Amino acid sequence: MGLVKIRVEGVSKVFGRDPAGALAKVRSGMDKTRLKDETDHVLGLHDIDLSIRTGEIFVIMGLSGSGKSTLIRHFNRLIEPTGGRILFDGDDILAYDAARLQTFRRRKVAMVFQRFALLPHKTVIENVAYGLTLDGVAKPEAFRRAGEQIALVGLTGFETSYPAQLSGGMQQRVGLARALATDAEVLLMDEAFSALDPLIRHDMQMQLKELQGRLGKTIVFITHDLDEALLLGDHIAILKDGTLRQVGTGSEILAAPADDYVARFVRDVNRGRILLCGAFADAGLIAAADAPVIAADATLESTFAAFAGGAAALAVRDWDGRIAGALTPRRVMEALARI
């Protein structure tokens, strides 16, 4: 995982009549509730710093009202920050004028919406080609490229259907195809799968992972479902009341929650499926020569079978082939029982 794609520096957002004045109050220590009660301004985001790397799935999590949608809408300037900087490939997008911003939205970022937001009066293929037609791509070419994306999401045969004729899952595939059609490097997905039922949702998650592996897009994905976050996210950012509480990989956050809020957030997760053996191998312990070997990036859950087979310890092998240490059932239990 390489370069930084999107860099957010000290971004704050206040909703209300006098955002700048209200932000000054926040800087001098007023909190979100007092700001709301005393000045009728809403603190949407406060001093957010983060980096999203090229080619990763970056998940933003948090409860309702924590500022997830507000944050993701800063990345294509659907919402303007009250303070701070946003860099895209090192370019300050806040400096863009209207024309430049339009081009940026047409070519560099695409968005998928929770309630699909398809154009109800246009057919599937017209919807998918929408971004291209806005950019002035001629219709035959736009339709040809749209057709490819429709095939990619498995909707061939529905090109001339209208959105309302499709199920929710199919509509969101159209939404995904529409976002892919402009060949944007970054996909912004605001609770894109939240409106789908569990089975369809799982299919879509798998399809997204597969697509991302193949196309190498940078994806910013919002969810309030921790399992989804852990399944998809290379990195996860946790927001609360407009502030960033923790950023890290899933297992980093599970292993060391930054504060009580994050800890409560991750409490109910099946830790065995997320935590990795490497993080818990005891380097001071040497497993018996005939002990089963397990990879450092295997989940703790995958050790259960070996222990059930009677092994007293497992040798943990690093990505470079060296034995990093050993895992005993006791260490695994400790790791699972933490919190």
Ligand X SMILES: Nc1ncnc2c1ncn2[C@@H]1O[C@H](COP(=O)(O)OP(=O)(O)OP(=O)(O)O)[C@@H](O)[C@H]1O
- Determine the distance from the C-alpha atom of residue 154 to the mean position of all C-alpha atoms in its chain, rounded to a whole number: 23
Contacted by 326, from ligand X, Mg ion, other proteins, none: CB < 5 to 8 Å by type: none
Structure tokens at 30: 């007023």
The nearer residue to ligand X, 40 or 197, going by C-beta atoms, is 40
Contacted by 167, from ligand X, other proteins, Mg ion, none: CB < 5 to 8 Å by type: other proteins
Binding string, residues 68-97; x marks residues near ligand X by CB under 6 A: xxx---------------------------
Helix (H) or strand (E) holding 232: helix 226-232
Q: Which of 66, 69, 212, 251: binder of Mg ion (CB under 5 A)?
A: 69
Is residue 66 a contact residue for Mg ion (CB under 5 A)?
no
The nearer residue to ligand X, 185 or 241, going by C-beta atoms, is 241
Half-sphere exposure of 288 (CA within 13 A, CB side): 8
**By the 8 A CB rule, do 93 and 104 touch?**
yes
Residues touching other proteins, count (CB under 8 A): 32
The nearer residue to ligand X, 61 or 281, going by C-beta atoms, is 61
| Cα dist from 334 to 1, 236, 246, 263, 331, whole Å | 31, 24, 23, 16, 5
Structure tokens at 2: 């390489």
Helix (H) or strand (E) holding 101: helix 98-107
Binding string, residues 33-72; x marks residues near ligand X by CB under 6 A: ---------x-x-----------------x-xxxxxxx--
Q: Checking phi first, is residue 26 left (phi over 0); if not, alpha (psi -120 to 50) or beta?
A: alpha
DSSP-derived letter for residue 27 is: H
The residue assigned the tokens 């998650």 is 205
Other C-beta atoms closer than 10 Å to the C-beta of 303 total 23
| Cα dist from 98 to 76, 101, 159, 220, 325, whole Å | 12, 5, 33, 24, 57
Q: How far is the CB of 98 from ligand X (least distance, A)?
A: 20
Q: Checking phi first, is residue 157 left (phi over 0); if not, alpha (psi -120 to 50) or beta?
A: left
Is residue 164 a contact residue for other proteins (CB under 8 A)?
yes
Q: How far is the CB of 191 from ligand X (least distance, A)?
A: 6
Q: How far is the CB of 31 from Mg ion (least distance, A)?
A: 21
Angle, vertex CA 235, rays to CA 56 and CA 118, nearest 5: 60
Q: Which region among 36-44, 160-168, 206-214, 251-259 touches other proteins (by CB under 8 A)?
A: 160-168
Is residue 97 a contact residue for other proteins (CB under 8 A)?
no
Q: How far is the CB of 90 from ligand X (least distance, A)?
A: 26
Q: How far is the CB of 318 from ligand X (least distance, A)?
A: 38
The footprint of other proteins on residues 291-320 (CB under 8 A) is: none
The footprint of other proteins on residues 182-241 (CB under 8 A) is: 182, 188
Residue ranges in contact with ligand X by CB under 6 A: 15, 42, 44, 62, 64-70, 224
Residue ranges in contact with other proteins by CB under 8 A: 76, 78, 101-107, 109-111, 113, 115, 117-121, 130-131, 134-135, 161-162, 164-167, 178, 182, 188
